[in-house]
Amino acid sequence: MNREVRVRFAPSPTGPLHIGGVRTALYNYLFARQHGGKMILRIEDTDSQRFVPGAEDYINEALAWLGIGIDEGVREGGPYGPYKQSERRDIYREHVRMLLDAGKAYIAFDTPAELDAARAATPNFQYDASTRMQMRNSLTLPADQVDSLIAQGTQYVVRFKVDAGRAVEVNDLIRGKVVIKSDILDDKVLYKSADDLPTYHLANIVDDHLMKISHVIRGEEWLPSAPLHVLLYEAFGWADTMPDFVHLPLLLKPDGKGKLSKRDGDRLGFPVFPLLWKDPVSGAISRGYREDGYLPQAVVNFLALLGWNPGDDTEIMSMQELIDRFSLAHCSRAGAKFAYEKGTWFNHQYLQTLPDSRLAELFRPVLAEHGVNPSDFSDDYITRAVGLVKSRVNFVRDLWDAARFFFMAPEEYEAKSVKKRWSADTPAIMEGLIGVLESLPDETYLRFTDEADFDNIDILFCCYPHGHARRLLDAAELPSTLRIIDMSRDYRIEDGTHDFVYGLPELNRKRIVRGATRVANPGSFATAVELALLPLAKNLLLNTPVHITAITGFSGSAVEKTTPDQLAWHRDNVSLYKPLAHQHLPEIRQALTALQSTFDAPIHFIPMRGSFARGMLATIYMDMNVGLDQLRAIYEEYYADHSFTYIVDRRPDLKDVVNTNKCLLHLEKVDGKLLITAVADNILRGAAGQAVHNMNLLFGLHERVGLALKSSTI
């Protein structure tokens, strides 16, 4: 039977929403959104004795914080309201009467004392087909006596009449067919006159039917009640529209020994509620994920994988990716251990994807908590500070320990380390260093010239054709303090007597200041590959082998001008390029390890030449467990202030970049692997122009290199 997918999350407002209930709500939401259905929030407040003020607001606030959208509910309204059970009394009375009139239920007047006596007289007493005729109910009392007792205000309950000898089938979409003998079921109470409210069992069935619920997705603890619910659907004549049942596995203690409880969180130091909760009676405080510093998307991602998997080893997934990939077929039958440390790992991963500006905004209250006035520092200063240290922290609050010295001078020192490293001449060295730092200019001035006064400059950029830089370095008497950057891509300057660095990734400019004497501008092959991989290295995401195929055009006067029909790649106009291929691997690896020192995976590199005069293409693929949405956010953040490199929505081609001086990057997942396509304009304007162009591609003009590109007399 095809029908609209309608699911419901039906918590009771008896306290804070447990994290297991949050997972149930999440699975309902993912299933509904994937099938274009509706998510209903129904408040089941039939247990008046356990009702807790504020609990309903807590539920709504928690779901909103996590991004679990509600289509119909108490606040949202809808065509099948009211959505609070305490406001549906007339509906329940009507359906209780339907069962009584049909002989499917009966009225019982047994007092608590009478029930205790029956339990004492009969071992393992159960109110069922074998005992109901011995009790005080409408099946054993005359009808006029029943009416008289009700008229006198005698309290009673309505019990469901379970027929003996039935094999009740429950079809569960995770566990398959479950068969229960009705003989083991008791005559459950459906309604209590004391508070004029139904019990969970009746209200649940009536509401699910009237609200046209198609799938009941709930916790495993409700599986024993499922046979009763099937019998109730049959008793009402609703068997044909009975929803599909899904009973989710339990969330277990971290050691797997029993159901997760609040005590486990208290004992091991992690929250089991989405938000902080203050008990309105005792005043006791229970920790919440939000107040503990977790990002909502991290909590959602963490919970989604407790009892479900996407069918591969992907872990980082946005809400939309979870919606797209969620499947009940991949839900586990066994309980899921609550590995709370994994939640911290997820939070670290998502924290790295936040723009530094957003992280700075979240860090401002933390500064104020530690006595620092955020207004004393510019937005740019705070943003740059958190950007430098965010890779070391799991939570926003941790930024204080990592970045405090950007905002507050040290007031103490670690005596043990000082004793180990401080010597008698250290103060004089430190005083000298202070003088050096104070003498550093605020800006670096560049001048393009064929002549230079080597004694009055700090850094020499060599933009000579191949080989000329080597001859200059051999012929000139250069001061030992002069730093040299060869921008001609002349790899022959490398030798064993100087500190040599390939390229100028962000961290390498610090090495220049620290004394690197030889830095070579990256070649065209390496430029496009680095553009594609540097954002991953910056976020410590390079951990698997990298496969690279790169095609670049020929350069030189002998090559004819590129024709329009060569603007797309063809097998017949490319060839393997082996000369000097070894040069590119060390360039690429050094640029990546400058940002991610732990990167040691193999790089499989195939360089090729194409029969066109300008442009290059690189395709790169690798295993990657981070979702595309997060990856795109990482790349867009990395190149946010970049004037040459852009992230695009389709695979780019050579014709998209020729004569633009730009690089275009495209990200996609193919067979579970990340595929990056990088297309860059190159081979132009001679050796010096090509060098500047490559640097612009990599660093987005001067803002990435830290140089003020202005003319000056030195």
Q: Is the pLDDT of residue 532 over 90?
A: no
Distance CA 526, CA 503 (A): 9
Can you give the pLDDT at residue 459? Answer: 62
Report residue 597's pLDDT band, with 50, 70 and 90 as the boundaries.
Answer: confident
Angle at the Cα of 374 from the Cα atoms of 371 and 379, rounded to 5 degrees: 155
Residue type, 128: D
Q: Which two tokens stand for residue 454?
A: 């080597």
Let me know if 253 is a catalytic residue. Answer: no
H, E, C per residue of 451-485: CCCHHHCCEEEECCCCCHHHHHHHHCCCCCCCEEE
Q: Is the pLDDT of residue 388 over 60?
A: yes
Distance CA 244, CA 213 (A): 9
Residue type, 333: R
Report residue 581's pLDDT band, with 50, 70 and 90 as the boundaries.
Answer: very low
Q: Which residue has the tokens 């070649």?
A: 523
Catalytic residue among 262, 337, 342, 669: 262
State CA 575 to chain mean position distance. 42
Q: Is the pTM of this model over 0.75?
A: no
Can you give the pLDDT at residue 534? Answer: 84
Q: Is the pLDDT of residue 430 over 70?
A: yes
Can you give the pLDDT at residue 687? Answer: 42
Can you give the pLDDT at residue 508? Answer: 37
Q: Tell me which of 453-462, 617-626, 635-644 is least confident.
A: 453-462
Distance CA 328, CA 609 (A): 49
Q: Which two tokens stand for residue 571?
A: 């097998």
Can you give the pLDDT at residue 565? Answer: 40
Can you give the pLDDT at residue 484? Answer: 62
Distance CA 219, CA 247 (A): 5
Q: Is the pLDDT of residue 312 over 70?
A: yes
Distance CA 69, CA 562 (A): 54
Q: Is the pLDDT of residue 655 over 50?
A: yes
DSSP 197-254: EE-HHHHHHHHHHHTT--EEEEEGGGGGGHHHHHHHHHHHT-GGGPPEEEEEPPEEPT
Distance CA 398, CA 292 (A): 11
Q: Tell me which of 42-46, 134-138, 421-425, 575-579 is least confident.
A: 575-579
- Which has the higher per-residue pLDDT, 638 or 193? 193
Q: Is the pLDDT of residue 450 over 70?
A: no
Can you give the pLDDT at residue 249? Answer: 93
Taking residues 440-469, what's their average pLDDT?
55
- % of the chain exceeding 90 in pLDDT: 56
Report residue 703's pLDDT band, with 50, 70 and 90 as the boundaries.
Answer: very low
Report residue 712's pLDDT band, with 50, 70 and 90 as the boundaries.
Answer: very low
Q: How far is CA 183 from CA 159, 167, 238, in A?
A: 16, 9, 23
Q: Which residue has the tokens 């916790």?
A: 219
Distance CA 300, CA 59 (A): 16
* Highest mean pLDDT out of 490-499, 589-598, 605-614, 689-698: 589-598
Taking residues 387-415, what's their average pLDDT?
90
Q: What is the pLDDT of residues 663-689, one digit of tens each?
A: 889 999 988 899 999 888 764 444 444
Distance CA 610, CA 570 (A): 9
Residue type, 409: A
Q: Which two tokens stand for residue 111?
A: 């007092």
- Which residues, 6+ apart, have CB-to-CB distance to 168 below 8 Å? 179, 180, 181, 182, 185, 227, 230, 231
Q: Tell me which of 565-579, 587-601, 663-677 is least confident.
A: 565-579
Based on the number of CB atoms within 10 Å of its own CB, is 362 exposed (0-12), middle (13-18) or buried (19 or more)?
middle
Distance CA 221, CA 21 (A): 12
Backbone angles phi, psi at 40, to 5 degrees: -110, 135
- Which has the higher per-residue pLDDT, 425 or 454? 425
Taking residues 538-543, what's their average pLDDT?
86
Q: Which two tokens stand for residue 576?
A: 């393997």
Distance CA 113, CA 135 (A): 12
DSSP 316-367: B--HHHHHHH--GGGB-SS-EE--HHHHHHHHHHHHHHS-HHHHHHHHHHHH
Backbone angles phi, psi at 535, to 5 degrees: -60, -35
Taking residues 254-262, what's their average pLDDT?
92
Taking residues 18-42, what's their average pLDDT?
97
Q: Is the pLDDT of residue 476 over 80?
A: no
Neighbours of 353 (CB within 10 A): 22
Q: Tell me which of 183-187, 334-338, 485-489, 509-513 is least confident.
A: 509-513
- Which has the higher per-residue pLDDT, 609 or 106? 106
Handedness of CA 222, 225, 230, 236 (dihedral sign): negative
Taking residues 209-237, what's their average pLDDT?
96
Can you give the pLDDT at residue 686? Answer: 41
Taking residues 563-592, what's their average pLDDT?
51
Angle between helices 340-353 and 296-304 (to 10 degrees): 130
Q: Is the pLDDT of residue 62 over 50?
A: yes
Can you give the pLDDT at residue 509? Answer: 38
- Which has the higher per-residue pLDDT, 569 or 677? 677
Residue 393 DSSP one-character state = -
Q: What is the pLDDT of residues 122-167, one digit of tens each?
A: 999 999 999 999 999 999 999 999 999 999 999 999 999 999 999 9
Residue 394 DSSP one-character state = S
State CA 110 to chain mean position distance. 54
Based on the number of CB atoms within 10 Å of its own CB, is 405 exposed (0-12), middle (13-18) or buried (19 or more)?
exposed
Can you give the pLDDT at residue 684? Answer: 41
Can you give the pLDDT at residue 11? Answer: 95
Q: Is-contact 663 528, C-beta < 8 A?
A: yes
Q: Which two tokens stand for residue 267?
A: 């004992």
Taking residues 88-103, what's their average pLDDT?
96
Backbone angles phi, psi at 661, to 5 degrees: 65, 25
Mean pLDDT, the chain, integer = 82
Can you give the pLDDT at residue 656? Answer: 80
- Which has the higher per-residue pLDDT, 642 or 607? 607
Choose among 476, 353, 360: nearest CA to 407: 360
Q: Is the pLDDT of residue 15 over 60?
A: yes
- % of the chain exceeding 70 in pLDDT: 76
Q: Is the pLDDT of residue 487 over 70?
A: no
